[in-house]
Amino acid sequence: MRKLIVCVLVLLMSVPAWAAAPETEEQKALYALGVHMARQLSVFNLSAGEFEFVKDGMMDVAAGKKPLAEPEAYGQSINALAQSRMQAAVKKHKEAGASFLEKEAAVQGAKKTASGLIFRELRAGSGAMPKASDTVKVHYAGTFIDGNEFDSSLRRGEPAEFPLGQVIPCWTEGVAMMKAGGKARLVCPSDIAYGDEGRPPVIPGGATLVFEVELLEVKAPVKPAEKPETTPKTGKKK
Q: How far is 132 from 176, CA to CA, in rounded Å?
A: 7
Tell whether 54 and 134 lie within a shared domain. Answer: no
Range of the domain at 38: 2-62
Among 47-51, 82-86, 221-225, name the one with the lowest average pLDDT.
Answer: 221-225
Residue 228 is assigned to a structural domain of this protein: no
Q: How far is 214 from 66, CA to CA, in rounded Å?
A: 58
Tell whether 41 and 118 lie within a shared domain. Answer: no
Residue 162 catalytic? Answer: no
Give the N- to C-terminal CA distance of the chain in Å, as an integer.
83
Calculate helix-pair angle for 48-62, 2-9, nearest 10 degrees. 140
Per-residue pLDDT at 216 = 98
Closest by CA to 91, choosing from 230, 207, 212, 9, is: 207
Name the active-site residue from 31, 53, 150, 162: 150
pLDDT classification of 238: cutoffs 50, 70, 90: very low
| 46 neighbors 54 (Cβ within 8 angstroms) | yes
Tell whether 212 and 129 lie within a shared domain. Answer: yes
pLDDT classification of 221: cutoffs 50, 70, 90: confident
Q: How far is 34 from 17, CA to CA, in rounded Å?
A: 14
Name the active-site residue from 60, 151, 191, 196: 151
| 230 neighbors 192 (Cβ within 8 angstroms) | no
Tell whether 103 and 164 lie within a shared domain. Answer: yes
Among 35-49, 80-94, 108-122, name the one with the lowest average pLDDT.
Answer: 35-49
Closest by CA to 96, choosing from 206, 186, 191, is: 206
Inform me whether the pLDDT recorded for 147 exceeds 70. Answer: yes
Inform me whether the pLDDT recorded for 13 exceeds 70. Answer: no
Name the active-site residue from 5, 168, 191, 196: 168
Residue 168 catalytic? Answer: yes
Average pLDDT over residues 104-118: 98
Residue 192 is assigned to a structural domain of this protein: yes
Per-residue pLDDT at 41 = 81
Mean pLDDT value across the chain = 87
Tell whether 136 and 204 lie within a shared domain. Answer: yes
Tell whether 29 and 129 lie within a shared domain. Answer: no
User: What CATH number is given to the structural domain containing 135?
Assistant: 3.10.50.40
Residue 60 catalytic? Answer: no
Per-residue pLDDT at 21 = 86
Name the active-site residue from 119, 192, 194, 203: 194
Q: Which of 62, 81, 112 is the last residue of a domain?
A: 62
Collapse the DSSP code of 8 into the 3-class scheme (helix H, G, I; strand E, B; otherwise coil) and give the result.
Answer: helix
Residue 88 is assigned to a structural domain of this protein: no
Residue 67 is assigned to a structural domain of this protein: no
> Which stretches of 8-134 are assigned E, i.e. beta strand?
110-112, 118-123
Tell whether 140 and 201 lie within a shared domain. Answer: yes
| 193 neighbors 173 (Cβ within 8 angstroms) | no
Residue 31 catalytic? Answer: no
Name the active-site residue from 140, 144, 145, 192: 140
Per-residue pLDDT at 158 = 97
Buried b or exposed e, range 137-174, using 16+ CB within 10 angstroms: bbbbbbebbeeeeebbbeeeeeebeeebbeebbbbbbb
Say if pTM beats, i.e. exceeds, 0.85: no
Per-residue pLDDT at 230 = 61
pLDDT tens sequence across 174-195: 999 999 999 999 999 999 999 9
Residue 203 is assigned to a structural domain of this protein: yes
* Burial of residue 66 (number of CB atoms within 10 Å: 0-12, 13-18, 19+): exposed
Residue 187 is assigned to a structural domain of this protein: yes
Overall domain count for the chain: 2
Tell whether 116 and 215 lie within a shared domain. Answer: yes
Residue 140 is assigned to a structural domain of this protein: yes
Tell whether 58 and 109 lie within a shared domain. Answer: no
Per-residue pLDDT at 9 = 47
Tell whether 115 and 215 lie within a shared domain. Answer: yes
Residue 80 is assigned to a structural domain of this protein: no
